[in-house]
Structure formats: C-alpha cells, structure tokens
Amino acid sequence: MLVLGIETSCDETAVSVVEDGRRIRSDIIASQADLHAHFGGIVPELASRHHLEAMLPVLERSLAEAEVAWQDIDLLAVTAGPGLAGALLVGVNSARALSFAWDVPLLGVNHLEAHVYANWLDSSTEHAGPAALPAVCLIVSGAHSDLAVMGEDGSFQRLGRTLDDAAGEAFDKVARLLGLGFPGGPAIQRAAAELGAGAAPESLPRAWLEGDHNFSFSGLKTEMLKRTRGRTLSPQDVRTLSAGFQESVADVLSAKTARAAQSLNARTVLLSGGVAANSRLRALLAERSPAPLRVPPIPLCTDNAAMVGAAGFHRWQAGDRSDLALEIDPGLPLGVRPAISRLHAVEQPNPNR
Ligand code: KG4
Ligand code: ZN
C-alpha cells in the first residue's frame, strides 16, 4: 500500500511516499528555517505563504523521486494538528483537493503520534516495523514535551507533559540568550560539544517535580537568564553554559522516562520529536532505559512527511477514517485522532436536510 504523506504543521513543507508504513520511497522537505532564523523564531504568516509556494513543487519531486504516478497512491495522510493554524490549512486543504481530484481516500493524522511512528520506519533502527507494546513514549519537540504510554491497541494515554515551556522551546530561547542561532537545539549541542574534555559544564538546577510525570523548564531558563544578564560572554562561557543547560534537560527527560517505563513495565521505550536529535539525550536514555530503546535517525526526528505516511498507514489499518470534511485542529492533544473526532461530527444528522 502506497501512502502519500503531507506535513505542514510548522515551518517544514514535506511530502513523502511510504510503502506499507515502513519503507520510505521518498521524503522531500522544503525547510524554511533560514527564513525564520532572520527573525529569531517562526513567523506564522510567512510560514503559510511559503507552504503555499512550496507545496506543488515538493509534491511533484516526491512522486518523481519515488518513481510513482499519482494513480499509484492508495491513501493520502495529512497532519491535521496540532500546529500553526495557517500552516496546517495549506496541508489539509491540499490533501482534500488531491483526494477529490485523484479519488483517493484521505486520513487526518495527529502530528504528535506521527512523531512516534517515525520509529516504525525501516531506516529508523535495525528492528523496524511495529514496536513491542505497551511502550513508554517521550515526545519532545519545539511545541510539546509529552510523556505517554502507547497501549497494545495503539491508543495513547498521556502520563505527563511540560507545565510551561516545551523542551525545544527552552533550547531555542536559551540559544538566543547565549547569542547562538535559530533553531537553538543544534546550536547548543554544537557549542556543548566544543567544550574540551578537561572543562566542566556549568552546574545548573533540575526541576524534578517528584511524584508525577510532568516536566518544567521555566526555572532553568530563568537561572540561565540570571547567569548571563549584564555579562559579556566569552566563547568558553557559552560552551560551559550550553553544556550545563543540555545536561540538565537531558538528565531530567531521560531519568523520568526511564522511571515511567520501569513502573509501567513497558516493553519498549520510544523517543521522538525534534529534541530527540539531541545526542546527549539519546546517550543518557540509552544508558538508563529499562526496556529496549528505539530512536529515529536524526533526519526523522525533526518534522518530516515520512512519519505522517507511516502513521497514516498504521492508523488506516487500525480502522481510522476521514473524509473530505476533514478540518484542521491546531490544539489537537496527544491521544485524540482528527479522523475519529471528525467522523463523529460528520455522523451528526443535518437539521436542515
Ligand atoms: O519536531 P520539530 O521539528 O518541530 C515541532 O513539531 O516543534 O522540533 C523542533 C525543535 C526545535 O525547538 C529545535 O531547537 C529542536 O527541535 N531540536 C533540537 C535538536 N535538533 C532540533 N534540540 C536539541 N538538540 C538538537 N540536536
Ligand atoms: Zn514536530
């Protein structure tokens, strides 16, 4: 089964062709990162305009690279939320138009669940295909930090989340404090890696929030502000502060994920989302995880359409359906499927009929 995946929830316009939810035939991503870097963050209006311009060329390249014609596509899977409203609209409306024009079924996908399904793709690990469930999932991106359990039926139940900033957002804001570029995660990781083996990372606090599965990064961010305000930072200061910050975030995320996996007897631990690209987080979680750990390769951690194609395939197999009335849902939480919520709405009798 060939699924065409479409992703436009933030600043990447991406279209993939994925075979049987595992094999990536193509995954074309037009990133707007350079454009938004100029403003130090994402400008929603610019993002939608660029999605609009990029959509057709990216779609054409994706089909060409996969060496398939549109007639070969069996299902269209598109991110319906969460994300920026204007950005999601371009993806969902493109998918609706294609579904109508090609007469191919359409399925709305939850972006957070799609991040987890990146771990099902063949190139992800040696053990691709469905992971052993139940799994404890840490989804850490620019807008979300969720700890969840994925049950044997594929349902997601959130265990905890960030009470303030998302982990990626904290990386981005702290990078700005340190005069590093956007996106901040890779910049902080690079600066931390430049700290010589002989030098110690800055010692920074950790918000453990004992007794639950939630996270908090605002205290750490304030501490970073206190330690940098009014100072002229030398390149070495930036390295020690970056390494200390990265250590604090990776320590808490990995320890709390490992603890949740232990207490729930998880059969797998699944890391995903843009921050899953962080090498220190990957290393610490690999060390601490009580169950086999799956981590997508770096290009499949940040936003892409292959994960949407994989999620679309598996959710379709599980019985999820959408129709041309699919709508965006910018605030869609983990565990809620756009397909299912929309189906309920469509099933309502029309009082004017
Ligand atoms: O999943 P994603 O591409 O987009 C959202 O859905 O939000 O995640 C983007 C986030 C950004 O905040 C970025 O700084 C962070 O992922 N990120 C990283 C790394 N690479 C990307 N954070 C830490 N270390 C990295 N290597
Ligand atoms: Zn994402």
Task: Note the pLDDT tens digit of each residue in 293-348.
Answer: 999 999 999 999 999 999 999 999 999 999 999 999 999 999 998 866 555 544 44
Give, in words, the CATH class of 2-123+302-345: alpha beta
Question: Do 2-123+302-345 and 135-296 agree at the fold level?
Answer: yes
Task: Report pLDDT for 156.
Answer: 97
CA of residue 122 to ligand 1 center, whole Å: 22
pLDDT tops 70 at residue 178: yes
Any idea how long the chain is?
A: 353
CA of residue 174 to ligand 1 center, whole Å: 13
| Cis bond upstream, residue 82 (ω within 30) | yes
Contacts of 56 (CB under 8 A, 6+ apart): none
Ligand 1 within 6 A of CB of 88: no
Is 0.75 surpassed by the pTM of this model? yes
Torsion of CA 192, 193, 194, 196, to 10 degrees: 100
Task: Report pLDDT for 35.
Answer: 78
Nearest bound ligand to the CA of residue 307: 2
Task: Report pLDDT for 36.
Answer: 73
Place of tokens 């305000």: 229
Ligand 1 within 6 A of CB of 185: yes
Which of ligand 1's atoms lies nearest the C-alpha of 169? 12
Ligand 1 within 6 A of CB of 275: yes
Q: Please write the tens of the pLDDT for every residue from 142-152.
A: 999 999 999 99
pLDDT tops 90 at residue 353: no
Ligand 1 within 6 A of CB of 141: yes
CA of residue 30 to ligand 1 center, whole Å: 16
Average pLDDT, the chain: 93
* Domain positions in the chain: 2-123+302-345, 135-296
CA of residue 87 to ligand 2 center, whole Å: 13
Q: Please write the tens of the pLDDT for every residue from 98-132.
A: 999 999 999 999 999 999 999 999 875 555 688 99
Residue 45: CB atoms within 10 A of its CB come to 10
Q: Which of 34, 56, 64, 57 is nearest to 47 (CA)?
A: 34
CA of residue 300 to ligand 2 center, whole Å: 10
Query: Which tokens hold the place of 165?
Result: 């900033």
CA of residue 301 to ligand 1 center, whole Å: 8
Q: Please write the tens of the pLDDT for every residue from 206-242.
A: 999 999 999 999 999 999 999 999 999 999 999 999 9
Q: Which of 152, 187, 154, 150 is nearest to 168 (CA)?
A: 187
Task: Report pLDDT for 125.
Answer: 53
Which of ligand 1's atoms lies nearest the C-alpha of 9? 6
Ligand 1 within 6 A of CB of 143: yes
- The CATH number of domain 135-296, selected from 3.40.50.1980, 3.40.50.620, 3.50.50.60, 3.30.420.40: 3.30.420.40
pLDDT tops 80 at residue 9: yes
pLDDT tops 90 at residue 42: no
Ligand 1 within 6 A of CB of 277: yes
Tell me phi and psi for residue 11, to 5 degrees. -115, 20
Ligand 1 within 6 A of CB of 7: no
CA of residue 63 to ligand 2 center, whole Å: 23
Nearest bound ligand to the CA of residue 311: 2
Place of tokens 């054409």: 60
Ligand 1 within 6 A of CB of 183: yes
pLDDT tops 90 at residue 352: no
Mean local confidence (pLDDT), 83-108:
97
Which of ligand 1's atoms lies nearest the C-alpha of 83? 6
Task: Report pLDDT for 40.
Answer: 74
Place of tokens 């709508």: 327
CA of residue 183 to ligand 1 center, whole Å: 7
Q: Which of 2, 313, 6, 296 is nearest to 123 (CA)?
A: 296
- The answer to whether 18 and 309 have CB atoms below 8 angstroms apart is yes
